[in-house]
């Protein structure tokens, strides 16, 4: 991600919120101190279901493992990368940011999966590089968290680490 572009979008969204009369009280973080907030878990859960459709099991326990795995994945990143992800996830849970970045007028967890997948496809092929970068970051991080779990390795044909004798 181009850090300056993401920071500009975040600052612009925050400014619009303040001008709209809500101020900082309307800005909900998606990630705080390396942990997903409740709003972040809802948004990322919807994104995980849409991005990993057909791969991620439908049960709630699998989704919770995915979200925990996401937190574990980003915990290994340097502080500056985590700050960028914090901003990205905050943009996905806040109305103005969500609208500008994803194109969703409602919270992501309220959207039918097919509608969210359509919005994600528009991000993927967008002429705006920032939207494409955000899409690929969200997709790659969800895939990294999913396939980091040894139970999922067989889905991609990986037998696991081999003992070298």
Q: Three-state DSSP class for 25? A: helix
Which of 8-12, 23-27, 104-108, 111-115 is the least confident region? Answer: 8-12
- pLDDT, one tens digit per residue, over 105-133 is 999 999 999 999 999 999 999 999 999 99
Q: How many domains does the chain have?
A: 1
Q: What's the domain range around 76?
A: 29-148
- Is 20 inside any structural domain? no
Distance CA 108, CA 98 (A): 8
Mean residue pLDDT across the chain: 86
d(CA 154, CA 43): 28
Query: Does the pTM of the predicted model rise above 0.85?
Result: no
Q: Is residue 56 part of a domain?
A: yes
Is residue 113 assigned to a domain?
yes
List the one residue out of 134, 136, 150 whose CA is nearest residue 65: 150
- Residue 18, in any domain of the structure: no
Token pair of 119, please? 């919005």
What residues contact residue 96 under an 8 Å CB cut-off, 6+ apart? 13, 16, 17, 20
Would the pLDDT of 1 be above 90? no
Residues 28-71 pLDDT 10s: 898 888 899 999 999 999 999 999 999 999 999 999 999 999 99
Residues 61-102: tens digit of each pLDDT: 999 999 999 999 999 999 999 999 999 999 999 998 999 999
Burial (Cβ within 10 Å: 0-12, 13-18, ≥19) of residue 161 = exposed
């Amino acid at each position: 991600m181009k850090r300056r572009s993401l920071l500009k979008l975040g600052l612009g969204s925050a400014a619009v919120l303040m001008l709209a009369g809500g101020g900082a009280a309307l800005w909900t973080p998606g990630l705080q101190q390396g942990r997903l907030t409740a709003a972040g878990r809802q948004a990322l859960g919807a994104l995980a279901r849409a991005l990993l459709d057909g791969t991620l099991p439908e049960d709630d326990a699998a989704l919770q493992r995915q979200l925990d795995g996401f937190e574990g994945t980003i915990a290994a990143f340097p502080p500056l990368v985590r700050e960028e992800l914090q901003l990205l996830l905050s943009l996905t849970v806040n109305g103005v940011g969500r609208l500008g970045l994803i194109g969703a007028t409602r919270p992501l967890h309220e959207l039918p999966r097919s509608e969210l997948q359509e919005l994600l496809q528009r991000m993927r092929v967008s002429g705006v590089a920032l939207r494409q970068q955000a899409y690929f970051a969200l997709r790659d991080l969800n895939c990294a968290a999913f396939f980091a779990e040894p139970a999922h390795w067989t889905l991609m044909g990986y037998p696991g680490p081999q003992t070298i004798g």
